Amino acid sequence: MSLNHYLIVEARFYDDLADEMVQGAIEAIEANNATYERLSVPGALEIPAAMKFADVGTAKVYAGYIALGVVIRGETSHYDYVCGESARALQELAITHNMAVGNGILTVEDHEQAWARADRKRKNKGADAANAALRMAALKSEFKV
């Protein structure tokens, strides 16, 4: 397995937004001559667990992990828990388990904000998350962690 191989873990709760973010991530990965695999999960809360499962449950070696998803504020406090807990768990994977993680979980107020960030012609946060994972993997390699 390539030492420049990444795992994209995508939350499929909003399929159209997920597809756009994944395409942005793929373009960034391929622009860096890296390879990737994709893994789909139901929502943002499942992303960190899927990353950890992939890290310990396979012989494959991933240089880094890219978390992609969208959380849109609703009528209840569920939004706050999903946003906070998914970010906390991703940070724990990075710090405690030395995983190179690019966090592309969008936390927004509405669909308009989500599209502004997901759209590859605007903010392209899928590419941003992939570029973060690429940089953190390079840093990890530099420090031989």
Q: Which residues carry a binding-site annotation for (2S)-2-hydroxy-3-oxobutyl phosphate?
A: 75-76, 117
Q: How far apart are CA 129 and CA 140, in angstroms?
A: 16
**Residue list for the binding site for 5-amino-6-(D-ribitylamino)uracil:** 13, 44-46, 70-72, 103
From first CA to last CA, the distance across the chain in angstroms is 18
Q: Which residue has the tokens 């991703």?
A: 90
The pair of structure tokens assigned to 47 is: 């992303």
Q: Which residues contact 63 (CB under 8 A, 6 or more apart)?
A: 2, 3, 4, 5, 6, 34, 100, 133, 137, 141
Catalytic position from the list 5, 78, 97, 111:
78
Q: 78 catalytic, yes or no? A: yes
Pairing between β-strand 101-108 and β-strand 5-11 as defined by DSSP bridges: unpaired
- What are the catalytic residues? 78
